[in-house]
C-alpha cells in the first residue's frame, strides 16, 4: 500500500498505535507511504517536543525520529498482517551525518529504505529532509525482541 505526494496513510493518533513510544516521547506523527522495502514518515516540530531546545530540534531528536521511523515501518508491516508488532532495539548507528537542525513548526520527512532483513535484524538507510533538502543521513541496524 503506497501513496504518493502529501496524502498520508496515517496521521498522529493512528501512528501512535503503531509504535511502542508514547507521548511525550513520540517523534513521528505522519505516515506518508509504505512498501515492504521503504517508508516515508513525517514529524512537525512543536514547542512541547522533548528534544526542542534554543529554537531548534536538536541532534538527539533527529536520531530518535529516524529510529521511530524504522519502528513505524515494522509497526505498520505487522498491522497489515493483523499481528502485534514486537519491540525493537537499535543495534547500531553508522555513517550518521546531521547537516541542519529544524526549527519550530518545520516538518521533517524521512525515508527509510530496507537494505537487508534477516532473522529479526534489519539494516536500513535513513534520509531526513526539510523542504526537500537532505538535512540528515545514516544507517541503522535494528533488532526485534524475541
- Assign 6 a pLDDT band (cuts: 50, 70, 90): low
Label residue 7 left, alpha or beta by phi (over 0 means left) and psi (-120 to 50 means alpha).
beta
pLDDT value at residue 7: 76
Mean pLDDT of the chain: 92
The dihedral of CA 51, 56, 60, 63: what is its sign? positive
Read off the pLDDT of residues 91-141 as tens digits, 9 standing for 90 and up. Answer: 999 999 999 999 999 999 999 999 999 998 999 999 999 999 999 999 999
The three-state secondary structure class of 143 is strand
Q: Is the pLDDT of residue 65 over 50?
A: yes
Question: In angstroms, rounded to a whole number, what is the distance separating the alpha carbons of residues 18 and 5?
Answer: 21
- Assign 85 a pLDDT band (cuts: 50, 70, 90): confident
Nearest to 108 by CA among 41, 55, 61: 41
Percent of the chain with pLDDT over 90: 81
Whole-model pTM: value is 0.93
Read off the pLDDT of residues 37-61 as tens digits, 9 standing for 90 and up. Answer: 999 999 999 999 999 999 999 999 9
- Assign 5 a pLDDT band (cuts: 50, 70, 90): low
Question: In angstroms, rounded to a whole number, what is the distance separating the alpha carbons of residues 58 and 63?
Answer: 9
- Assign 8 a pLDDT band (cuts: 50, 70, 90): confident
CATH number for region 10-144: 3.10.129.10
Do the Cβ atoms of 56 and 102 come closer than 8 Å? yes
In the chain, the N- to C-terminal Cα span, in Å, equals 27
CA angle (59, 48, 132) in 5-degree steps: 50
Domain ranges within the chain, ordered by starting residue: 10-144
Amino acid at each position: 500500500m503506497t501513496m504518493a505526494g502529501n496524502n498520508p496513510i496515517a496521521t498522529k493518533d493512528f501512528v501512535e498505535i503503531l509504535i511502542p513510544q508514547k507521548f511525550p516521547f513520540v517523534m513521528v506523527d505522519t505516515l506518508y507511504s509504505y512498501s515492504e522495502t521503504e517508508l516515508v514518515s513525517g514529524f512537525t516540530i512543536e514547542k512541547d517536543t522533548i528534544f526542542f531546545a534554543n529554537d531548534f530540534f536538536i541532534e538527539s531528536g533527529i536520531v530518535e525520529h529516524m529510529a521511530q521511523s524504522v519502528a513505524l515501518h515494522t509497526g505498520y508491516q505487522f498491522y497489515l498482517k493483523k499481528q502485534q508488532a514486537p519491540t525493537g532495539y537499535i543495534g547500531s548507528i553508522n555513517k550518521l551525518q546531521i547537516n541542519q537542525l529544524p526549527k519550530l513548526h518545520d516538518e521533517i520527512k524521512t525515508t527509510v529504505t530496507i537494505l537487508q532483513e534477516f532473522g529479526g535484524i534489519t539494516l536500513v538507510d535513513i534520509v531526513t529532509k526539510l523542504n526537500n533538502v537532505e538535512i540528515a543521513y545514516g544507517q541503522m541496524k535494528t533488532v526485534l525482541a524475541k
